[in-house]
Amino acid sequence: MAKTYHLGRARRLVNAAMTPLARLGLAGRHTYILTVRGRKTGKTYSIPVILIEDGGRWLVAPYGDVGWVRNARAAGEVQLTRAGRSERMAIEEVGAEHAAPILQRYLKRVPVVRPFFDVSPNSPLAEFETDAPHHPVFRLTDASDAQSTLRDDPRCDRPGKQPNTSTARSVSMSRDVIIRYRTRPEAAEENSRLVEAVFASLAEIRPNGFAYATYRLADGVSFVHVAHFDGAENPLATLPAFAEFQRDLARRCAEPPTLTEATIVGSYRSTA
């Protein structure tokens, strides 16, 4: 029998760890921040989500008819943010027949949600179709030309910026970010090894328009990542070593990552 989802402390920690990484495009190619307006409060709420992006773009609700699902249905659209860019997407909930193959792909790619399904990744599509009413699936289409209730709300974009309603095809400006977090003492060495593997991979591909440095502070458990992005491409998003680094970051963290955008005032032989 499938588990019932509860937004407990562990899940809140995972979301807190993933959110700044997803905003920067560092949490995987298909991970976004979903923002939707509350149907009762009018406030905006944001959570990390993983999309299916082959054969169209699909938003899956693996935990069922939770709050963001009801809010999205009421709004008719959502905002997706990744790598500093936002796009408004209209949503259309699809029936069980269309949802079944999407759910199967999702379950194969996102193993952490499998306990909440009554099927396994290798179950026949007929069984996914039976289970589909418990896991809503939405088709995403560009809503940039439609009227939007999110459009004029500056809270839906990065602090200090004008509201961004551009699609993912727009070009990002150069930007600098600082990410800081604290690991559990027993996980600090593991975290260092994973970071070193990322830099070894970067040394092999030598991406242009990108500078990156990671510091381990004197307490031995705090880490600071400093990154400069010059344009829309983020080489970390497709780097297997970085995917391995961020996969269990929430488990390693005692304090989740916090992201701050920065402006260089001066630099002398900078390492980042």
| pLDDT classification of 272: cutoffs 50, 70, 90 | low
123 in the same domain as 37: yes
Does residue 88 contact residue 144 with C-beta atoms inside 8 Å? Answer: yes
Cα(237)–Cα(28) distance, rounded to whole angstroms? 5
Count the neighbouring beta carbons within 10 Å of the beta carbon of residue 261: 15
What pLDDT is stored for residue 148 in this prediction?
Answer: 42
180 in the same domain as 150: no
231 in the same domain as 150: no
Residue 93 within any structural domain of the chain: yes
107 in the same domain as 14: yes
pLDDT > 50? residue 183: yes
Q: What mean pLDDT is predicted for residues 154-180?
A: 50
Share of the chain above pLDDT 70, in %: 85
Does residue 44 contact residue 38 with C-beta atoms inside 8 Å? Answer: yes
CA 246 to chain CA centroid, Å, is 11
Share of the chain above pLDDT 90, in %: 46
Residue 162 within any structural domain of the chain: no
CATH code, domain with 17: 2.30.110.10
What pLDDT is stored for residue 149 in this prediction?
Answer: 43
188 in the same domain as 137: no
Residue 170 within any structural domain of the chain: no
What pLDDT is stored for residue 8 in this prediction?
Answer: 73
CATH code, domain with 200: 3.30.70.100
Residue 219 within any structural domain of the chain: yes
What pLDDT is stored for residue 191 in this prediction?
Answer: 94
The count of domains in the chain is 2
**Hey, what's the torsion of the CAs at 191, 197, 198, 199, to 10 degrees?**
110
Q: Pick the more confident residue, 153 or 254.
A: 254
Minimum mean pLDDT range among 50-59, 113-122, 246-255: 246-255
What pLDDT is stored for residue 231 in this prediction?
Answer: 62
Residue 168 within any structural domain of the chain: no
| pLDDT classification of 60: cutoffs 50, 70, 90 | very high
Q: What mean pLDDT is predicted for residues 229-257?
A: 80
Average pLDDT, the chain: 82
Give this prediction's pTM: 0.60
Residue 64 within any structural domain of the chain: yes
Domain boundary among 100, 128, 156: 156
Buried residues in 102-139 as b, exposed as e (16+ CB within 10 A): bbbbbbeeeeebeebbebebebeeeebbebbebbbbbb
**Domain boundaries, position 242:** 175-262
Per-residue pLDDT tens for 76-119? 999 998 877 889 999 999 999 999 999 999 999 988 899 999 99
Per-residue pLDDT tens for 111-146? 889 999 999 999 999 999 999 999 999 999 987 644
